[in-house]
């Protein structure tokens, strides 16, 4: 991809094009997880991942792989809300705080720092119903 948004109409990511960008960029298996209700603004993205059989661990809770995919998805979209086009995730760490069971989950990613070559993003994962924090991820994205 070009680093100039004038030659790539998908960047910056906005509320008006976020679903188009999501459909274009992400792998089919990520799209099949069922993300919905995207909200973006500069340096921010929130998205809901419904609890479904596609994302359940044997215990009935949302599996860690789905949570990490949600962190990466929301954080990657938040990092793409400026004119710079990302080259991808270079670091991600997720803290699991409690089981993600019996609800849909809201992923809220906030870019804490846009640097010349990287963006640093924090992403909270909370129950939609109770807003209880179940995980927190930190990520870096290269430009």
Across 27-63, b (16+ Cβ under 10 Å) vs e yields eeeeeebebeebebeebbbbbbbbbeeebeeeeebbe
Whole-number average pLDDT of the chain: 93
* CATH for the stretch 5-142: 3.10.129.10
Average pLDDT, integer, range 104-128:
96
Predicted structure pTM score: 0.92
- For residue range 11-44, list pLDDT tens digits in order: 899 999 999 999 999 999 999 999 999 999 999 9
Asked if residue 35 lies in contact with residue 21, where contact means CB atoms within 8 angstroms, the answer is no
Q: What's residue 43's pLDDT?
A: 97
């Amino acid at each position: 991809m070009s680093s100039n948004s004038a030659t790539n109409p998908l960047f910056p990511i906005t509320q008006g094009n976020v679903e188009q960008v999501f459909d274009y960029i992400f792998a089919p298996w990520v799209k099949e997880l069922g993300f919905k209700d995207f909200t973006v603004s500069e340096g921010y993205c929130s998205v809901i991942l419904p609890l479904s059989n596609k994302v359940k661990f044997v215990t009935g809770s949302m599996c860690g792989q789905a949570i990490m995919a949600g962190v990466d998805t929301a954080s990657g979209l938040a990092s793409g809300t400026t004119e710079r086009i990302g080259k991808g995730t270079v670091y991600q760490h997720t803290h699991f705080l409690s089981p993600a069971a019996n609800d849909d989950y809201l992923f809220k990613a906030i870019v804490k720092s846009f640097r010349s070559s990287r963006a640093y993003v924090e992403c909270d994962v909370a129950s939609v119903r109770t807003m209880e924090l179940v995980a927190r991820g930190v990520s870096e994205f290269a430009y």
